[in-house]
Amino acid sequence: MRALADDAGLRIRLLGGFEVTIKDHPVAADAWRLRKAKTLVKLLALARGHRLHREALVAVLWPDRDEVSATNNLHQALYVARRVLVGTPDAVCSLRDDVVLLSEGTMPWLDIEAFDTACRRARQTRNPQDYRAAAELYRGDLLPEDRFEEWTEGPREALRERHLGLLVEYAEVLSDRGEHAQVVDIAGAVTAADPFHERAHRTLMTALRRADAGTRPWRCSTDFARRWPRSTPPTLSRQPGGSTGTFSLTVSLSRRRRRWAKSGRRDELPRIRHLVRGRA
């Protein structure tokens, strides 16, 4: 099992933008003489086990080059990456038996792994402080500078859904404590970030009802319906006697989420971060 130290000399952030620090000193953006060397580090940081076969890297980085040219480019990118990351305690970006490794020893601190660990801890403890700590690690969507790269789409969507799900769970924990006004703020921010997040709408309407907000839960439901593209309306059926008075949505949410996201969604992350910090 690989080692992973919280105090690792090399720290790599991918959420909200690529950022590398070595012994608390940030690596300047212009230090990456080759853009592909930076992309190589990103790919290794995202890969399972933080290792990739050289052919997989070549296929992503130089898909149109012949094998000899692509291999030469790979060696050059590895050389540049090692030069940029000089000073780390372990060998990084090394090639062993046709497999490229992010590190041969202690793994760098990676914000995506720290976020995943913090999410698991929050779900185990159900402690609001742990939810806030996990939310603070999510500085923004994964690698926004590479938003049009196909290899980032799956991980970005998965991390984003995990973050929004974490916030909804945090709101539910606050709801159990009777802090309904805070629940309305957080769940409302989630529905603004993702209008198709049914669980967030349900949590929001429950909080509004418990806070005796009159007819607003119904308005929240109808507002949810209005946000759907007119060309692909959802099938709605009222749930009589339901605990929240919400709707059952029998539609493919993920497809519409992706379509809406690519159409230029409103970025609610600054508002969400402000709300979460305000609960400390």
- State the pLDDT at residue 160: 97
Q: How far apart are CA 57 and CA 44, in angstroms?
A: 9
Q: How many domains does the chain have?
A: 2
133 and 233 both lie in a single domain? yes
* Domain membership flag for residue 26: yes
Q: Are residues 103 and 176 in the same domain?
A: no
Q: Which residues contact 202 (CB under 8 A, 6 or more apart)?
A: 244, 246
Last residue of a domain, one of 107, 137, 153: 107
The pLDDT value given to residue 242? 44
Q: Are residues 120 and 226 in the same domain?
A: yes
Residue 1 belongs to a domain: no
What is the share, in percent, of the chain residues with pLDDT greater than 90? 66
- What's residue 247's pLDDT? 38
Identify any residues that bridge with 247 across adjacent strands, giving them in sequence order. Answer: 238
- Residues 119 and 100 grouped into a single domain: no
Q: Which domain holds residue 82?
A: 10-107
> Residue 35 maps to which CATH number?
1.10.10.10
Q: What is the pLDDT of residue 177?
A: 94
Contact 99, 52 (CB under 8 A): yes
Between helix 180-193 and helix 198-210 the angle, nearest 10°, is 150
Judge whether 2 lies within some domain: no
Q: Point out the least confidently predicted range of 123-132, 148-157, 203-212.
A: 203-212
Does the predicted model carry a pTM greater than 0.85?
no
* Same-domain pairing of 159 and 178: yes
Poorest-confidence range of 58-62, 84-88, 120-124, 257-261?
A: 257-261
- pLDDT confidence band for 280 (50 / 70 / 90): low
The answer on 177 and 91 residing in a single domain is no
Lateral strand order in the sheet of 19-22: 25-26, 19-22, 10-13, 109-110
Domain endpoint, select from 107, 131, 157:
107
Residue 207's Cα: distance from chain center in Å? 26
Q: Are 152 and 17 found together in one domain?
A: no
| Within a domain: 47 | yes
pLDDT in tens, 31-46: 999 999 999 999 999 9
Q: Write the CATH number for 191.
A: 1.25.40
119 and 252 housed in the same domain: yes
Following CA atoms 235, 241, 243, 246 in sequence, which dihedral angle do they give, to the nearest 10 degrees?
20
Last residue of a domain, one of 91, 107, 123: 107
Q: Looking at the domain assignment, is residue 45 inside a domain?
A: yes
The tens digit of pLDDT for each residue in 172-186 reads 999 999 999 999 999
| pLDDT at residue 239, as a whole number | 41
**pLDDT at 128 > cutoff 70:** yes
**CA dist., res. 137 & res. 134, Å (int):** 5
* Interval 66-121: pLDDT, tens: 999 999 999 999 999 999 998 776 789 999 999 999 999 889 999 999 999 999 99
In a domain, 232, yes or no: yes
The pLDDT score that the predictor gives to residue 217 is 53
Tens-place pLDDT, residues 203-251: 999 998 887 655 455 455 555 555 544 434 333 333 433 444 433 333 3
Residue 4 lies in a domain: no
